Structure 1
């Protein structure tokens, strides 16, 4: 078993990269056992790969099986060198085994795999059938045979047309002339022969004849060897060798595209190389077939894989006398980033693997062998002659080392010289040492440019930085916040005033306060020796038309100053509320004072109509951020108590609006009282019509809706629903009113029942409670807070 130590992991890697798509019928353990048994029985890897592919082993399953095998065999002791050798061997094994795997896959998948053989799909595509055209003129060199229809047109002194089909004996029958043998003649030869024969019955020399074909015969040819469907085929008499291969399904995984043989009358008359057609468009190898021809497709001589930086990395079939340079041509040549001076070949020498490096001058003489894996590496991501200059020059950027640029002075001149703000006392040259570490050289750039000191030669990858005087100053941005059109950071400039910054920020907004604009400034003392108590300075100004009128006019800002334009406390945006339902003038109204109440809004809208049920009025409010956060906390609590699935089935969620329980009747009777709630923006009051029904739901025999009866207690209404259910929790029943308020039933509930309310009877068995049915009946519950209270009460 030891000799198979590396074979199995490599084989499984191969299986992982093979284009397998069938559904697996084997477990991971069965697949692993199957491979081990196959190795013990001496099966080669190609056979095992084919058998597993047919059994539907997928890529994912192969990955798992490989991991299982590696854990069992404990390969962790492999050295770095062994891992490299394993990777090279894997590359070669992939090339050798992919042929067996690809035969098990659909044609479209084979074309797209990395291991596809160049040209092998040419006879598998629908768009390239090589089918002969039936509409072309009769070829003069077409050889006639039994089954061909011959048309003989005669004109001149005598006019006639003779249509005859060549008999199995090779003849046609012509009146007054008898049988005429034409089989085996070309069309041109038959025409010449018939001219002589027909002079026996047409003596006039002015007669002319023309021989053409009508319906062509069907010929039988045999296709043998490594094709997908070998056998005997009946084809059109115009068919060619390529069309015959197409009809046979193309070349199989073992077949050769380079050495296809055509046998006629027991002799080899042609050897066809399909690559000549693919790469050069040569059609002379597409030979027209004749009756009894035999096409033989032998196995390939050598399959070579080329990968890396070539235009068409894949596998190629090579002849014995072809070299590496020929393979590169087949692969479309090198890509732009290919390293062309040296190419690596991994080869099997019959005993073990070996690596061969081929220099560019040897490409044309380097012969290839079956199973070779060629890799074309990429060039190094380095420059041989790059220079860079940054900072205060007119044209900073990357330049070429050499020619007219080889020193610091020449580089500065190439960049169009120093800018006026260049700091010339000190420039920095960053240089790369031979060991790739960095060093920094300081340069007096002014003295160098004035030729007071010697020029400095440059090396590749040198970076010259010439700072600006502004780079050496800490001129941080200034910031402006608050009520300006474009708050944010702005670059500092000398003599920038507060007014300048406000104008740069687009001016003041409508809500801005012009009596309170603050400027915050850092405390800077570069010579200070201890931490001061004071950590900042604040300046306050009053503006008018963007100019300072109270404070220091023309206040000059400093780097890192922060300006705050406050919102005017007297500025108020309109706030709207709405009222609808049974109200005289429903619609949207603007609040006119900060603590406007419900009664004032109802009065603005003309008061309720005669059909209004004021006690059932409801207030819907838009939730603010704090309220939304509180509702989210309630949902989180319910999720922990009821579970995620139960909460989803109930449809409990946080919404942007909720219901506030109100008593509009009390608010209208006592304006300004606690019942007269203060409104806020987005509020909507709905005043319903009178509803004289009461709904009973929950753990009752039959949930029902009945007519409201004044003075009746809860027991009466429960009886209208058939009484309590067996699992009713009688002591926990509660009432939900039209206005959104909830009340626990006290004693017999007499006096608590109102028109339009709902009586809820919870269940004792919490797990079996039909929460959806109960909550679907709570039509008045609109807020998550109210719903949470209802659920909590039902769960007690």
Structure 2
């Protein structure tokens, strides 16, 4: 019996030691007898929680445990078991937002479908906005009136002289179990009451708590999920929500009221009784969330059908369909619609009402806004104010501040001019125009003498009326705008505005002065004005001839000009700037040369350039003359009688624009040397480019031949010799259309007469080109048959004729 007591005593001591170790790894004094295999999962969770509460890792605790007698093998077992153990009651939720809050919540998933059937109903957009879901914030402090229930989890911590830390769940029976303290019933209690109850129970076990040497902290570490039922929403059914969720959160999950659901009489049923009637308009209009109460398990949210809805359209800030309660007036409806906008007509509002048989229209005066009770189905139309003014008057023209001003009874024209800060210097004071709107909305014109009105004449100072438009004329309005024209040898010819006392010197300076080519002759064409017609005078204008000093813009005789004069400054008879040509290639002195006279020929320029070099090809002298833009336009204007869509027309136009920059003039230098009067000794134009090719004893053959190559020139060899030297013509080559381009730019083609074909002569540095045969369209089967039938018919006619 004694041995049995000893065994029981040792077992209790071991269990207490294990529990003590589990409760405080750091404060145990002897760990030599600890067996990790005997520790339960709850003990391991407590060890892990204690390490976390002391901000210590297992590696930091290892030397302390070994110093207190724990073997390295046992500590390795402890490390392995702790690696696979979570804190009791801990959550595996990986949501970072929930982890950072220090409180977890079972993940809730509710699908929601966005509705579009009642988008015009005021408040429906509240439940279609995915960024507005009314989810509870788990980071907020626990509400003191939060009621605990099964599924909640409390974090109980004792710190000070004695330490204890554990996550304790509320069991299905509504109790929590605290080691060494026992079970405590907390279900149905607020977190505040439960915290006081737990502190008192711990104080009965931990003496240091009762003495104040240790403190107790209790928080809600995990909240439960509750079930609520929503009836009458777009998506009615049972929903799982957080125990911290509110009515608005549940309504959002249910999609809000259905098509005919009420937004103002939503009932929250708790224990089969109406706990609260919710009016969403308090939140929508005023932002009042007093109806957003917390939910409890098995609550029912019932959304009944609406009693009456009305529609307001037109000039309000938030038109739509609104639900009205009994006793609410039209003024309440306007406040729901955020009031009238800036252009609304508020003296009265038209409402279309429904009777038992038909519709009727009623006008609600402004005095009735606070008393009229809207009826179900009413449609209110708020119109715009009239586009007219009750006290507008305008002045425009030659005043310092033309504008629209306010009108008052008894206002006269002098008063309006004073408001516009007086007349301008150019004002025409003998007459002013008043455009007046008559009672039948037609207009009339009233003339006023401004000079008399402003001098104090009461009869001339006309009384004005609302909507009058006063126009003050300017003397400049009655003046014709004159101009003069200058052309010829001035830097900026053109039209210029005529001013009083304008002279020829003024106009010359304004036009930039005379050019260097201006002559002394000036011609002025002046308009003839006369009240009588002289049949014997055929002149349309008067011509005035003057002489001026071309070297000076300031003439001694400063001639006065008249409106519409046309001044022509003539050019001197001989005034030509030096013109250039260029020569390049095999000459002694290539470069640019000035044309000495108008009959300068290529022979003269070559002679001035030192003549041809020994290496020059006398058959390769040519002139490249720039093609002017007007010449290209003339070529393009030639009518080829082809449709515009024809590709040849398009290609030729593109070639003229982009490729045709120079025209080549071939020169026969050998004949020019013998006879300078030969036609090849052409007269040069400014910009001409003379090119003298160097001698190249080769002949280039290209095009549709077997081998594009250059063949050495052999005197006396024919055209066909060079074609044979490159392998002849290929399958696509058109031999009878082959041509040659000589070094001087001249070309020659193959000719034929009857069965004889003559080929052009070949010179050194020439180029032979064989073009491609044009594609011939093959006859179709139908065309062959048709052609055969025609021949057969002709043959039959011939046979018949000779019978």
Give yes or no for the alignment of 1:212 onto 2:214.
no
Q: Which residue of 1 aligns with 2:157?
A: 153
Q: Which residue of 2 aligns with 1:237?
A: 243
Give yes or no for the alignment of 1:497 onto 2:503.
yes
Structure with greater Cα Rg: 2
Q: Secondary structure at the match of 1:640?
A: coil
Q: Which residue of the other structure, out of 556, 559, 572, is the alignment partner of 2:560?
A: 556
Structure 2 counterparts to residues 29-68 of structure 1, below 5 A: none
Worse-matched range after superposition: 414-423 or 677-686: 677-686
Whole-angstrom CA distance in 2 between matches of 1:373 and 1:705: 92
Q: Which residue of 2 aligns with 1:282?
A: 288
Q: Secondary structure at the match of 1:215?
A: strand
8 Å CA contact 1:480–1:489 kept in 2: the answer is yes
Whole-angstrom CA distance in 1 between matches of 2:289 and 2:608: 96
Q: Which residue of 1 aligns with 2:703?
A: 696
Whole-angstrom CA distance in 2 between matches of 1:573 and 1:300: 99
Shift of 1:164: 0.3
Shift of 1:137: 2.0
Question: What does the per-residue CA deviation read over 1:289-313, in whole Å, with 9 as the maximum and x for residues that have no partner?
Answer: 333344455666677665554445x
Whole-angstrom CA distance in 2 between matches of 1:604 and 1:467: 76
Q: Which residue of the other structure, out of 428, 431, 448, is the alignment partner of 1:443?
A: 448
Structure 2 counterparts to residues 354-393 of structure 1, below 5 A: 356-366=362-372, 374-393=380-399
Q: Which residue of 1 aligns with 2:345?
A: 339
Whole-angstrom CA distance in 2 between matches of 1:585 and 1:118: 97
Whole-angstrom CA distance in 1 between matches of 2:642 and 2:726: 36
Worse-matched range after superposition: 529-538 or 654-663: 529-538
Q: Cα RMSD between the aligned structures? A: 5.0
Whole-angstrom CA distance in 2 between matches of 1:116 and 1:668: 100
1:195/1:382 CA distance change after superposition, 3 Å: same
Question: What does the per-residue CA deviation read over 1:382-415, in whole Å, with 9 as the maximum and x for residues that have no partner?
Answer: 3333333344444444333216x71123233434
Whole-angstrom CA distance in 2 between matches of 1:643 and 1:357: 78
Question: What does the per-residue CA deviation read over 1:170-211, in whole Å, with 9 as the maximum and x for residues that have no partner?
Answer: 221122343222223221121123234334434563344332
Whole-angstrom CA distance in 2 between matches of 1:418 and 1:234: 81
1:531/1:139 CA distance change after superposition, 3 Å: farther
Whole-angstrom CA distance in 2 between matches of 1:166 and 1:590: 114
Q: Which residue of the other structure, out of 432, 437, 443, is the alignment partner of 1:427?
A: 432
1:611/1:534 CA distance change after superposition, 3 Å: closer
Q: Which residue of the other structure, out of 751, 754, 766, is the alignment partner of 2:760?
A: 751
Whole-angstrom CA distance in 2 between matches of 1:738 and 1:350: 108
8 Å CA contact 2:485–2:564 kept in 1: the answer is yes
8 Å CA contact 2:133–2:252 kept in 1: the answer is yes
Q: Which residue of 2 aligns with 1:765?
A: 776
Whole-angstrom CA distance in 2 between matches of 1:157 and 1:415: 91
8 Å CA contact 1:220–1:234 kept in 2: the answer is yes
Whole-angstrom CA distance in 2 between matches of 1:286 and 1:612: 108
Whole-angstrom CA distance in 1 between matches of 2:699 and 2:508: 65
8 Å CA contact 1:240–1:289 kept in 2: the answer is yes
Shift of 1:461: 2.7
Q: Which residue of the other structure, out of 537, 542, 548, is the alignment partner of 2:542?
A: 537
Q: Secondary structure at the match of 1:655?
A: helix
Whole-angstrom CA distance in 2 between matches of 1:374 and 1:574: 90
Give yes or no for the alignment of 1:188 onto 2:188.
no
Structure 2 counterparts to residues 318-717 of structure 1, below 5 A: 318-321=323-326, 323-345=329-351, 356-366=362-372, 374-402=380-408, 406-419=411-424, 421-452=426-457, 454=459, 455-480=461-486, 490-503=496-509, 505=510, 507-508=512-513, 510=515, 513=518, 515-525=520-530, 533-544=538-549, 545-549=552-556, 553-564=557-568, 615=620, 619=624, 621=626, 623-625=628-630, 627-628=632-633, 630-631=635-636, 637=642, 639-642=644-647, 652=654, 655-666=657-668, 670=672, 673=679, 676=682, 678-679=684-685, 692-697=699-704, 705-708=708-711, 711-713=717-719, 717=723
Q: Secondary structure at the match of 1:205?
A: helix
Shift of 1:367: 5.1
Whole-angstrom CA distance in 1 between matches of 2:484 and 2:293: 84
1:162/1:759 CA distance change after superposition, 3 Å: same
Q: Which residue of the other structure, out of 292, 297, 306, is the alignment partner of 1:291?
A: 297
Shift of 1:624: 0.9
Q: Secondary structure at the match of 1:409?
A: helix
Paired residue total? 645
Worse-matched range after superposition: 291-300 or 188-197: 291-300
Question: What does the per-residue CA deviation read over 1:275-334, in whole Å, with 9 as the maximum and x for residues that have no partner?
Answer: 44344333334433333344455666677665554445x534433455554454454444
Shift of 1:760: 1.4
Whole-angstrom CA distance in 1 between matches of 2:563 and 2:684: 48
Structure 2 portions without partners, runs of 5+ = 1-112, 780-803
8 Å CA contact 1:256–1:317 kept in 2: the answer is no
8 Å CA contact 1:497–1:554 kept in 2: the answer is yes
Whole-angstrom CA distance in 2 between matches of 1:725 and 1:142: 102
8 Å CA contact 1:431–1:438 kept in 2: the answer is yes
Whole-angstrom CA distance in 2 between matches of 1:270 and 1:210: 35
8 Å CA contact 1:519–1:564 kept in 2: the answer is yes
Q: Secondary structure at the match of 2:385?
A: coil
